Amino acid sequence: MKAGDVLHLTRAASPQFVRPIFFRLIKVRTELHTYAGWIWLDGYQLDERDEAVARRELYVLQAAVKLLRTSPGNSNHGARRTGKSTSSEP
């Protein structure tokens, strides 16, 4: 995971996500203490238009974090969110 990646966080990642959220990563907070398998993430919660609605620091189970879309600098450009049209036409 790197800055700009879009993540899908569900209840599997943390009990706080009763409803799943989409999250644009700023950074993984490696300087903070965690238990094995857990990480701190710093970034923005996204709305249905992929616009930031809240800055958040989240404590999540790393194995349950789903990478949906990588940042432009990443070589894996094929990963995209499903169920969302990228066309502006009806």
Structural domain includes residue 75? no
Domain of residue 15, residue span: 6-69
Structural domain includes residue 25? yes
Structural domain includes residue 79? no
Stretch 15-20: mean pLDDT: 92
Structural domain includes residue 15? yes
pLDDT tens for 51-78 read 999 999 999 999 999 998 886 664 443 4
Structural domain includes residue 26? yes
Neighbours of 20 (CB within 10 A): 13
| pTM score of the predicted model | 0.72
Mean pLDDT of the chain: 82
**The total number of structural domains that make up the chain:** 1
Contacts with 28 (C-beta within 8 Å, 6 or more apart), sequence order: 1, 39, 40, 41, 42
Distance CA 62, CA 25 (A): 13
pLDDT > 50? residue 36? yes
Distance CA 38, CA 79 (A): 24
Q: What is the pLDDT of residue 1?
A: 84
